[in-house]
Amino acid sequence: MSSISISENLKRLGISTENNGTSTGLDFFSSGKAIESYSPVDGNLIASVKTSDKQDYEKVVAKAEQAYLEFRKIPAPKRGDLVRQFGNKLREYKEDLGKLVSYEMGKSLQEGLGEVQEMIDICDFAVGLSRQLHGYTMHSERPGHRMYEQYHPLGIVGVISAFNFPVAVWSWNAALAWICGNVVIWKPSEKTPLCAIACQNIFNEVAKENDLPEGISNLVIADHEIGDQLVNDKKIALVSFTGSTRVGRIVGKNVAERFGKSILELGGNNAIIITENADINMSIIGAVFGAVGTAGQRCTSTRRLIIHESVYDEVKNRLVKAYGQLKIGNPLDETNHVGPLIDKAAVKQYQDSIEKCKAEGGNFIVEGGVLEGDNYNSGCYVKPCIAEVENSYEIVQHETFAPILYLIKYKTLDEAIAIQNDVPQGLSSAIMTQNLREAELFLSHAGSDCGIANVNIGTSGAEIGGAFGGEKETGGGRESGSDVWKYYMRRQTNTINYTTNLPLAQGIKFDL
């Protein structure tokens, strides 16, 4: 593979190959060990990054606390204006940031640009929302009284994000948190620190141009020990965590223990039901993009296809043909469909899952394998594969972050829905059908048990306007659109007496 030049993009994003790290705006607090960011695209070292230690973390929190006292006083629509400016900067930096996402994380350039677009979209959404943070007014049972509720900011919002969406997930949280009057401390994945530094640098430009105090957007590049510190820190009012169910279980428990709030976005095990009334062309495109897009490393990736017996062979044959046409390679080359996995540990998990699936009786109709040779020097490129399985296999019940697609045959729609729901996770789901009855049953209370249920759309690629998240082991959290902003605020009920008497509620008499 010819060497990829990213240095100009890095320069424009304010990233040097040294001296990057934790930042509260202008100040850097990075006295920990350095970590190195290697690209899964070509295996090259991109830059080394200084991390924060425990004392650095405390300094960042102190800055954030200080900034919050100022920031909460800025009217919400004015905070919205700052987010508008941030969104405009993202428009300017879209190419550079999208390319960095693609190079540091390994997703296709189209998807890298799409991720930055998702950031721009949430900024636009948050700007509008900054004038709509409204509560209800209600009628008091007492004469001459008024009752209403209002929403106040929480304080410091901690965001712990994963490598697979190294910029967008933070922005969903940060844009809402900011318009709500909070300040944010972001601990990104150690696998994609440069994407995070680029975002912080872009925000810093807005902060500088508006004379904002340091500490509204804070970045902590650090290992999981500092992540634990943040999770257990009473000063962090809300922890928004995206990652595995295993870690999310600990985060949720520890935050609850100290009566903090959490938003958990954990594993998915997403299925598409393809009925006998499906548009097969559309189903194939939806299924293949869902399964191999981002090399199967989205939490919304399609992992299972539940196919009606009457169209099973047709779908299977067309999938085999489609997989035969997939081009795997450098994700910055737009003729390729599939890029690398994030690192060699992910490759090992992919291989182990294939072995486990085979041991349980899985029949691979498209074989997997690790690619070798000049174009695959990083050792992170794998072949997307397909296996016929039973839904009950242990490995099928489990989320493997890799392009492994499982096929399951069904006879009745009730059976298909039961299979779709019979996994511990509950993030995204879809049905491919042109039949109204099938679609409505799938969307009804007797249908999909997931946080996201689509008709004639795949499982991935949700728009930011809806609430994003899932049920069961996916954690129950919601991020981005709809009324999700309420998670980032505390609700207060106010009752005001404008009379000269003090009547008590519930008709209680109390005279002195």
Sheet holding 217-219, edge to edge: 217-219, 183-187, 156-160, 236-242, 261-265
**Rounded to the nearest whole angstrom, what is the least distance from the CB of residue 169 to ligand UN1 in the complex?**
6
- The residue number with the shortest CB distance to ligand UN1 is 462
107 lies in the site for ligand UN1, by CB under 6 A: no
Label the pairing between strands 479-480 and 467-468. antiparallel
**Rounded to the nearest whole angstrom, what is the least distance from the CB of residue 462 to ligand UN1 in the complex?**
3
Assess contact for 329 and 496: CB atoms under 8 A.
no
Member of 206, 460, 469, 474 binding ligand UN1 (CB under 6 A) = 460
298 or 409: CB nearest ligand UN1: 298
Number of residues that bind ligand UN1 (CB under 6 A): 11
Member of 13, 380, 462, 489 binding ligand UN1 (CB under 6 A) = 462
Q: How many helices (H) and strands (E) does the chain have?
A: 13, 22
Nearest to 480 by CA among 219, 39, 200, 179: 179
H helices present in 52-108, as ranges: 54-71, 76-105
118 or 449: CB nearest ligand UN1: 118
56 or 479: CB nearest ligand UN1: 479
Member of 266, 299, 338, 407 binding ligand UN1 (CB under 6 A) = 299
60 or 167: CB nearest ligand UN1: 167
Site residues for ligand UN1, 232-251, by CB under 6 A, read 242
Query: What would the x/- binding string for ligand UN1 be over residues 118 to 147, using CB under 6 A?
Result: x-----------------------------
153 or 267: CB nearest ligand UN1: 267
169 or 221: CB nearest ligand UN1: 169
**Rounded to the nearest whole angstrom, what is the least distance from the CB of residue 65 to ligand UN1 in the complex?**
29
Label the pairing between strands 363-366 and 137-139. unpaired
Known catalytic residue at 18 = no
- Its sign, for the CA torsion 470, 476, 477, 480, is positive
171 lies in the site for ligand UN1, by CB under 6 A: no
Other CB atoms within 10 A of residue 110 CB? 14
466 lies in the site for ligand UN1, by CB under 6 A: no
Contacts for 424 with CB less than 8 Å, ≥ 6 apart: 245, 269, 397, 472, 473
The CA distance from 272 to 282, in Å, is 12
Q: Which region among 82-90, 292-300, 346-354, 361-369 touches ligand UN1 (by CB under 6 A)?
A: 292-300
Assess contact for 331 and 101: CB atoms under 8 A.
no
Place of tokens 């190195």: 36
**Rounded to the nearest whole angstrom, what is the least distance from the CB of residue 453 to ligand UN1 in the complex?**
13
Give me the count of residues in the chain: 512
Member of 23, 39, 51, 164 binding ligand UN1 (CB under 6 A) = 164
404 or 489: CB nearest ligand UN1: 404
**Rounded to the nearest whole angstrom, what is the least distance from the CB of residue 294 to ligand UN1 in the complex?**
7
**Rounded to the nearest whole angstrom, what is the least distance from the CB of residue 381 to ligand UN1 in the complex?**
20
Which of 265, 399, 438, 479 is the catalytic position? 265
**Rounded to the nearest whole angstrom, what is the least distance from the CB of residue 91 to ligand UN1 in the complex?**
19
The CA distance from 382 to 173, in Å, is 32
Member of 135, 379, 461, 466 binding ligand UN1 (CB under 6 A) = 461
53 or 471: CB nearest ligand UN1: 471
Nearest to 191 by CA among 328, 40, 60: 40
Looking at the DSSP bridge assignments, the partners of residue 388 are 363, 407
265 or 449: CB nearest ligand UN1: 265
Site residues for ligand UN1, 20-79, by CB under 6 A, read none
The CA distance from 355 to 508, in Å, is 70
165 lies in the site for ligand UN1, by CB under 6 A: yes
SS (H, E, C) 370-426: ECCCHHHCCCCCECCEEEECCCCCCCCCCCCCCCEEEEEEECCHHHHHHHHHCCCEE
Largest CA distance in the chain: 90
241 or 488: CB nearest ligand UN1: 241
The CA distance from 339 to 329, in Å, is 5
**Rounded to the nearest whole angstrom, what is the least distance from the CB of residue 457 to ligand UN1 in the complex?**
10
The CA distance from 306 to 318, in Å, is 15
300 lies in the site for ligand UN1, by CB under 6 A: yes
Q: Which region among 13-21, 252-260, 296-304, 374-382 touches ligand UN1 (by CB under 6 A)?
A: 296-304
**Packing angle of the helix pair 309-324, 280-292 (nearest 10 deg):** 50
Member of 84, 89, 107, 298 binding ligand UN1 (CB under 6 A) = 298
The CA distance from 459 to 111, in Å, is 15
Q: Which region among 26-34, 297-305, 345-353, 384-392 touches ligand UN1 (by CB under 6 A)?
A: 297-305
Residues at the site binding ligand UN1, with contacts judged by CB under 6 A: 118, 164-165, 169, 242, 298-300, 460-462
Which of the residues are catalytic? 265
